[in-house]
Structure 1
Amino acid sequence: MGKNVHAHICGICDQTKDEGIFLYQLYICEDCESKIISTSPKDENYQFYVERLRAINQSFYTI
């Protein structure tokens, strides 16, 4: 009974979070959203976020 019905699994970090956004069908938690926005192309995590965000493009065409 203690489960939050508004929790979703983040498509970036794969953790269940209560707060975030949907970008098409991909849910992105607030923490990952902040990290994506503040990551520069020179950052070592940049490519990781690019690969995870590609899931948006793939899921968009499979609908």
Structure 2
Amino acid sequence: METKEAQDCIICGQTKEHGILIISEFICEDCEHEMVQTDVMDAKYPFFIHQMKQIFYKKHA
């Protein structure tokens, strides 16, 4: 689901207008783009995985 209202990105923490919602958490377009371009061997990959896990932790909390 795409959204255009300003929300806080679960990845970078910035408030942005364009991005996607996964369950009820917002990921901005910039982070979405960076995540899909990041190789699994990249040092930033584990950070993205950790942040994405927060979506499911919040859902089940």
Alpha carbon RMSD of aligned pairs, Å?
Answer: 1.3
**Secondary structure, in 3 states, of the residue corresponding to 2:21?**
strand
After TM superposition, the runs of 4+ consecutive aligned structure 1 residues lying more than 3 A away are none
Deviations 1:23-50 (A, max 9, x none): 0111000000001111111001000000
**Contact 1:8-1:18 within 8 A present in 2 as well:** yes
CA distance in 2, matches of 1:57, 1:9: 17
Q: Distance in 2 between matches of 1:16 and 1:41?
A: 27
Note the 1:1-63 alignment, pairs <5 A.
6-62=5-61
Larger Rg: 1
Shift of 1:57: 1.2
What TM-score, normalized by structure 2, do the two folds share? Answer: 0.88
**Structure 2 residues without counterparts, runs of 5 or longer:** none
**Percent of residue pairs bearing the same amino acid type:** 34
